[in-house]
Amino acid sequence: MQTVKNELLQALQGELDRLWPGQALVATFESPRQAEHGDLACTACLQLARPLKANPRQLAQQLQAALQATAAFQQWVAAVDIAGPGFLNLRLKPAAKQQTVREVLAQGDRFGWQPQTGQPVIVEFVSANPTGPLHVGHGRQAALGDAICNLLASQGWRVHREFYYNDAGAQIDTLARSVQWRARGLKPGDAGWPETAYNGDYIQDVAADFLAGRSVEAGDRQFRASGDVDDLANIRSFAVAWLRREQDQDLQAFGLHFDRFYLESSLYDSGRVQQLVDDLVAAGKTYERDGALWLRTTDYGDDKDRVMRKRDGTYTYFVPDVAYHISKWERGFVRAVNIQGSDHHGTIARVRAGLQAADRGIPSGYPDYVLHTMVRVVRGGEEVKISKRAGSYVTLRDLIAWTSADAVRFFLLSRKPDTEYTFDVDLAVQKNNDNPVFYVQYAHARICSVLAAWGGMPDALANSDLSPLDTPAAQALMLQLDRFPDVLAQAAQDHAPHDVTFYLRDLAASYHRYYDAERILVDDEHTRTARVALAAATAQVLHNGLSLLGVSAPEKM
């Protein structure tokens, strides 16, 4: 029905320009709040009333008569009614709604997608420290990042996926020391085991492989252990490579890929961090106090100035972060989206302030942030707080093993990122309508079984006569299908993949209601073919939506 809407919008724009030239009002349609009011609504006359100093209902009468005389409205609109103070409510003919089925079947996997614009956007997500396996919070971020990338790509953006690898700093020193202590025979609970050490069993695994002199290969690096427990530098490099491989396996189990793993260490090795600091000092944007170097971030909207270089000579976290974002800008990414945990809220102001202080022509709102809360995991009615292997948290791989990658993705995307979420493991494995991912996937599989029983040629459906699809149940389902492109556009704009999960549940419910109301494989071939076409279009949209979420659309369940 997108083509129908476009034709109607062109007709509406033409009449607005003809009747009231110079008002520069852009033609738009809205969805009526109540279905019984019609299929589309127009509020143009209410907007024109004040500048024209006219009664909106009288304007509506003029516009109603003009629109009814246009070819597009005569072809696709059954009635144009005036309501309230001057609304125009449009009731579409069944043939207009049937066009949605044709569009879906003709466009297939690309229904809902917009033409590529070539505009680049970089999305940074997961970006976990290489100090342990990925936890369920990383899983929520992974699901969000992948879905947001897919949504942006569907709206024409050229998407670059990046994982910022924090392989420098104090946490890596702690990792190296933890492995060294394990390699020397110490373990959590022993006298002399530091409170700051990492306690998970995986540290013992790293230590054992290090002592055995093993090699690890992961992504951009390969490293062989020396086996010398006094060689802390070798332990450090081996542990980072080992855990990089570990996290790669977590990401692969979740079906994720990245275009680049950007190393924090490269910002120091390349001189980017030092150059940034030198430039800020030379520009007078810094000052010394209490042995530390401070940046005047309050000049750029921060609530207080921030330390750049501590007394011990090391840099605070936000300094390489600013250098990293300058790198993004210089690589041509005029739009950037960061997906991070809500504990990073305080970094937003200081990173943006640092970018403004750097004076590189970067907009003040760069980058965009999507912050998410952590996830509680409940199993058997009780919260699960730790994994034996990780030591202090539930890992992403645990959650996938207990349920499935599909369930983990759909569940973690089913709420707004900034809302608390409890992942119910028992619900995620249930095969009933209470399980949202099962409910949606089952609708797709149910349609596939109908199509298999039909046994016809799917390619012929797009050109079939759809006139039998004139019943209330069929028209309600077609209107639901027509919403899909608008849902994608809004979800991409708002970085809100949860809106897609809500839509898919609504679409599955609409199909189940349609299936219960009308038998599809009836004896009459004309009616049967039309209903099969509607079912096939529904399956296609379910498939498209699930695919954007990174969830499979099974043909059998």
One pLDDT digit (tens) per residue for the chain, 557 residues? 889 999 999 999 999 999 999 898 999 999 887 878 899 999 999 999 999 999 999 999 999 999 999 999 999 999 999 999 999 999 999 999 999 999 999 999 999 999 999 999 999 999 988 888 899 999 999 999 999 999 999 999 999 999 999 888 888 999 999 999 999 999 999 998 988 899 888 999 999 999 999 999 987 778 999 999 999 999 999 999 999 999 998 899 899 999 999 999 999 999 999 999 999 999 999 999 999 999 999 999 888 999 999 999 999 989 999 999 999 999 999 999 999 999 888 899 999 999 999 999 999 999 999 999 989 999 999 999 866 555 668 889 999 999 999 999 999 999 999 999 999 999 999 999 999 999 999 999 999 999 999 998 888 898 899 999 999 999 999 999 999 999 999 999 999 999 999 999 999 999 999 999 999 999 999 999 999 999 999 999 999 999 999 999 999 99
pLDDT at 389: 57
Place of tokens 């990780």: 390
Contact 141, 125 (CB under 8 A): yes
Tokens representing residue 8 in the block: 């109607």
Phi, psi of 113 (to 5 degrees): -85, 155
Portions of the chain given CATH number 3.30.1360.70? 2-92
Tokens representing residue 400 in the block: 């996938």
Residue type, 399: L
pLDDT at 307: 96
**Sheet strands side by side (includes 335-341):** 260-263, 158-165, 120-124, 335-341, 368-372
pLDDT at 70: 97
pLDDT at 124: 98
Count of Cβ atoms closer than 10 Å to residue 345 Cβ: 12
Residue whose C-alpha is closest to residue 276's, from 318, 337, 336? 318
Residue whose C-alpha is closest to residue 84's, from 31, 43, 26? 43
pLDDT at 390: 58
Count of Cβ atoms closer than 10 Å to residue 152 Cβ: 21
Residue type, 222: Q
Portions of the chain given CATH number 3.40.50.620? 125-269+373-429
Contact 241, 216 (CB under 8 A): yes
Q: Are strands 382-384 and 421-424 parallel, antiparallel or unpaired?
A: unpaired
Contact 324, 276 (CB under 8 A): no
SS (H, E, C) 457-523: CHHHHHHCCCCCCCCHHHHHHHHHHHCHHHHHHHHHHHCCCHHHHHHHHHHHHHHHHHHHHCCCCCC
CATH of range 433-548; options 3.40.50.1820, 1.10.730.10, 1.10.1240.10, 3.40.50.720: 1.10.730.10
* CATH of span 2-92: 3.30.1360.70
pLDDT at 388: 54
Q: Which CATH superfamily is domain 125-269+373-429 in?
A: HUPs (3.40.50.620)
Element (H, E) at 215: strand 215-218
Phi, psi of 405 (to 5 degrees): -60, -35
CA–CA distance, 427 with 504 (Å, rounded to integer): 18
Reported in sequence order, the residue ranges of 40-92 that DSSP labels E, i.e. its strands, are 40-42, 77-83, 87-92
- Classified as helix, coil or strand, 113 is coil
Portions of the chain given CATH number 1.10.730.10? 433-548
